Amino acid sequence: MNTPNSSILSQYEDHWPTELGAVSVADGKVTFRGHDLLNALEDLSWMDLLMYGITGRRFSPAQLELFQGLWKISASYPEPRIWNNRVAALGGSVRSTPGLALGAAIAVTDATIYGQRPMVAAFDFLQRARAARDGGVPLRDFVIRELKQHRTIPGYGRPLRNVDERLAPAQRLARRLGLWGGVHTLLSLEVADILKSHRMGMNVAALAGALYADQELTATEYQYATLLAFSAGLIHCMSDAALHPEGALFPLRCERLQYHGPARRVW
């Protein structure tokens, strides 16, 4: 982090310029992007409020249902063996406070191999692929070049299972809402076809990123918009573990450990 110089700090002393909003303690008024949150924005759902705050744009009911549906389909598994769910479940097992357990689990969701960073990388890849093709580069050439350079394509390939079970319901959702067939969505399918010979099937990160990109979000907005996507699965695993005996999450007998270090020593 770069420390701002004194002239910048002086501009912000007792002053925070923002278009997002503020609370007036004197009269209890809450302003949100220039509107009275408590009285003029009564029609906003939670997802509507989230996306309006992130982007400054209002989305259609179909778009909001798409965003919420993709959260449910792609990242709400009640499975404590999933890496970030395991952290939340561990918090419940040791009787941590929900906020601490959830905060730790969301932190590890921002992982390099799994989770939000690959999701954002898939979004970025599709946007760059579209720009390259619009600039005259054949899509196949762009994909193969990326594959040679990085040895992987974000959003394609999935450990343990070649077919991602989330793709079909995500596609059904987008079709039902009339949001199927956008530029990035069709491009993501073309990329999947190119990568078939490399045994890299599409996973839901590519399709979700494409559907969000077709709603004209930027990569940064997409990252903010999906920050809490895993939260339902995290909370469910944490609350479930708290109902089980304390400290009983995935115990492992000591004799099952393959230890090859120094022998036991006397202090």
Each residue of 69-80: pLDDT tens digit?
Answer: 999 999 999 999
The proportion of the chain whose per-residue pLDDT surpasses 90, expressed as a percent, equals 81
pLDDT digits (tens, 9 = 90+) for 195-209: 999 989 999 999 999
pLDDT at 267: 83
Whether the predicted pLDDT of 159 surpasses 90: no
pLDDT at 264: 87
pLDDT at 1: 72
pLDDT at 114: 87
pLDDT at 3: 80
pLDDT at 222: 97
| Ranges 46-55, 57-66, 92-101, 154-163: which has the least confidence | 154-163
pLDDT at 163: 85
| Ranges 34-38, 55-59, 157-161, 172-176: which has the least confidence | 157-161
pLDDT digits (tens, 9 = 90+) for 174-201: 999 999 999 999 999 999 999 999 989 9
pLDDT at 116: 92
More confidently predicted of 257 and 124: 124
Taking a C-beta distance cutoff of 8 angstroms, is the pair 74, 208 a contact? Answer: yes
Average pLDDT, the chain: 94
Cα–Cα dist 210/198, whole Å: 21
pLDDT at 158: 78
Tell me the domain boundaries of the chain: 20-58, 60-246
**Phi then psi dihedrals of residue 92, to 5 deg:** -70, -35
